[in-house]
Amino acid sequence: MSLMHDIAFTLNGVKRSATVRVDMSALDMLRDVVGLTGTKYGCGEGECGACTIQVDGLSINSCLMFAVDCHGRDVVTIEGLADDPASGRAAALRHAFVEHGAVQCGFCTPGMMMQASHLLDKHPHADEDSIKRGIEGNICRCTGYKKIVDAIVAVSHQEGKGATT
């Protein structure tokens, strides 16, 4: 029987606690213990980015993170990114992803959104090449990336002009 451990952390702006197996990944905790299924299992080894979440303002692969390492930290998942009304950027990204056709099967989309959001947090005026580098850890099999990049570029240009939604 695996050792269990109690953790307390902030998830999508709400304080909560959880009891997790010590060897459990943050991804499994989010999906199976907390019950938020927006973050996806793509490979379990940090190569595809489908599991991307934000922790203390940084994007990371939740499949590589230990759940116990969430203790005391600020965790944001796709469900939290979508709900946050204060973040004009999230709404702009949502709008851009839909308008530019950046979604086909949608499985990579939560990870792409989380990574794009972090990328623009850090570099609000990122150009196309930086954006492509910025999502190099997110794999998509459907779109060929072009419309995803176009969507993120559109938001970065919007911010460049000072306009937000």
Residue 33 binds another protein, judged by CB under 8 A: no
In whole angstroms, give the CA distance from residue 90 to residue 92: 5
Q: E strands within 12-148?
A: 14-21, 52-55, 58-61, 74-76
Smallest distance from another protein to CB 159, Å: 19
Of 70, 120, 140, 155, the residue at the interface with another protein (CB under 8 A) is 140
Residue 25 binds another protein, judged by CB under 8 A: yes
Smallest distance from another protein to CB 23, Å: 5
Residues 57-76 that bind another protein (CB under 8 A): 58-61, 63-66, 68-69, 71
In whole angstroms, give the CA distance from residue 29 to residue 25: 6
In whole angstroms, give the CA distance from residue 13 to residue 24: 22
Smallest distance from another protein to CB 79, Å: 6
Smallest distance from another protein to CB 156, Å: 15
For residue 163 the two structure tokens come to: 């306009």
For residue 9 the two structure tokens come to: 């952390």
Q: Tell me which residue of 120, 110, 102, 136 sits closest to 31, measured CA to CA.
A: 110
Of 18, 29, 50, 153, the residue at the interface with another protein (CB under 8 A) is 50
For residue 140 the two structure tokens come to: 């998509």
Residues 77-116 that bind another protein (CB under 8 A): 77-79, 82, 93-94, 97-110, 113, 115
